[in-house]
Structure formats: C-alpha cells, structure tokens
Structure 1
C-alpha cells in the first residue's frame, strides 16, 4: 500500500509540473499568434479557436430569478449548475438576460502532420 501511495504522490507532483509548463507554453504560443488563427512550423500545425464562456454576476442573477427558492438550487452563480437548470427547464434563458458577460476564451490545438 505504501508503494501505491508513494507512486500516486509522485505522479501528482509530475502532473503539477507538466500542467505548469503546459500553461506557460500555451501563453507563449497564444502571444506569438495574436493576429492569426494559427500557424505551421515543421511537422506541427497549431490552430486557435474561441469558445464563449459566461461569467455570471451573483447579485444580478439573484434579482433576475422569479423565485428566491431557485437561488438555493445554485447557492452562487455556478455556470455548470445554471446550465443544468436550463437543460432541465427549471429556469428559462430569458430570465438570465443581463446577468452575465460573455468572454471569448482561446482554445489551443496542436496537431502533428
């Protein structure tokens, strides 16, 4: 059991390092192609697409909901919970108007040709 715990710990530490390096590389790559949707270098092709993400304002969302008990289902402006409530038709999209800002998040994809 100690070996498994040690290996798990070791892998989690490696994961932290890899995720940190990936984050740094992602930032540098996005900086280098700010004006383009991607580029090619050698055997690699990078494309950048944009994903819309909503960032809700707690106060505006609370005031927009017709029933305060709906707020208890969320407890805070959690995008995942809000999307689930929309899919279940517990809340309506029109109630959310003006309660969030839409941000464009770059999605980086690197392929080997």
Structure 2
C-alpha cells in the first residue's frame, strides 16, 4: 500500500511540473503570437482565438434582477447559472446590462499535420 501512495505522490509532483511548464510555454507563445489567427510552424499549426467571459458583480446583479426569488436561485453571480437562466428565458439579456465586465481569454490550440 505504501508503494501506491508513493507512486501517487510522484505522479502528483510530476503533474505540477508539467502544468508549470505548459503555462510557461503558453505565456511564451502568446507573447510571440498575441493576435488571433493561425500560424504554420513546420509540422504544427498554432491557432490563437479569444473567448469572451463575463465577470458578474454580485451587488449590481442583485439590484438588476426584477425578483428576489431569482437571486435565491443564483445565490451568487455564477456565469453558468446565469447563462442557463438566459437560455430558459427566466431573465432577459437587457437586465444584465452594466452588471458585468467582459474579459478576453486567449485560447491556444496546437495540431499536428
């Protein structure tokens, strides 16, 4: 059993190292290719796109919602729950105006030909 625990520990440490290296490579690639688009590099294709994410402000959202029951359903400004409420037409996009800030998140995709 100790061997299993030791192996699990080794793999977790290795995972931390790999994730740190991946993050550094991501930062380096984004510094070199900050614009959205595709770049061919030998046998590889790097695609940079941007996603827009909304960061909701709890207080502004609470004030914008027409019914306190809706806030109880959310309990906090959870983007996933808000998106679901928009899709099911429980709330309208227009009431959310001014309750969030938009962040552009770069997304990297590397494929091999």
Report the TM-score when normalising by structure 2.
Answer: 0.83
Matched residue, 2:62: 62
**In structure 2, the residue corresponding to 1:25 is in which secondary structure?**
helix
Partner residue, 1:47: 47
CA apart distance, 1:37: 2.0
User: Which runs of no fewer than 5 residues in structure 1 stay unpaired?
Assistant: none
Aligned residues: 113
CA distance, structure 1, for counterparts of residue 77 and residue 8 of structure 2: 34
1:14-39: CA deviation from partner (whole Å, max 9, x where unpaired): 22221111111101101001246232
Q: Which runs of 5+ in 2 are unaligned?
A: none
Query: 1:20-39 residue pairs with structure 2 within 5 A?
Result: 20-35=20-35, 37-39=37-39
| Runs of at least 4 residues off by over 6 Å | none
C-alpha distance 83-18 of structure 1, shift in aligned 2 (>3 A): same
> By how many angstroms is 1:60 displaced?
1.1
TM-score by length of 1: 0.83
Alpha-carbon distance in 1 for matches of 2:90, 2:44:
45
Once the two structures are superposed, residues 58-80 of structure 1 have per-residue CA deviations (whole angstroms, 9 ceiling, x without a partner) of 11111100112221222221111
Provide the rounded CA distance (Å) in 1 between the counterparts of 2:64 and 2:24.
39
Shift of 1:109: 0.8
How much is the aligned-residue C-alpha RMSD, in angstroms? 1.9
